[in-house]
Amino acid sequence: MDIDSIIKDNENLIYKIASKFSGVEKDDLYQVGVIGLLKALKNYVGDANAKFSTYAYDYIFGEMYKLARENRSIKLSKDALKLYKKIEEARYYLAQKMGTMPSDSDVALFLEIDETLISQVIESAKSMLSLDASKEDTDSLYEVIPEQESLSLNDKIAVDDSFKVLSDTEKQIINYRYYKDYTQSETAKILGISQVKVSRYEKKGIDKMRAFLAN
Domain ranges in the chain?
3-70, 78-125, 135-214
Domains 3-70 and 135-214 alike in fold: no
CATH 1.10.1740.10 fits 3-70, yes or no: yes
Q: What is the CATH number of domain 78-125?
A: 1.10.10
pLDDT tens, N- to C-terminus, the chain (215 residues): 578 888 889 999 999 888 887 777 888 899 999 999 998 888 887 655 667 888 888 889 888 888 877 665 443 455 666 787 788 888 878 887 888 888 888 988 999 888 888 887 777 665 433 333 343 444 445 444 444 444 444 555 556 677 788 888 998 888 887 777 678 888 888 888 988 888 888 888 888 877 777 65
Task: Using alpha carbons, list the distances in angstroms from residue 54 to 58, 110, 181.
Answer: 8, 43, 20
Q: How many CA atoms lie within 13 A of 48 on its CB side?
A: 0
pLDDT of 130 reads: 38
Length of the chain: 215
pLDDT of 57 reads: 86
CB 135 within 8 A of CB 57: yes
Q: CATH classification of 135-214, choosing from 1.10.10.10, 3.40.50.620, 3.30.420.270, 3.50.50.60? A: 1.10.10.10
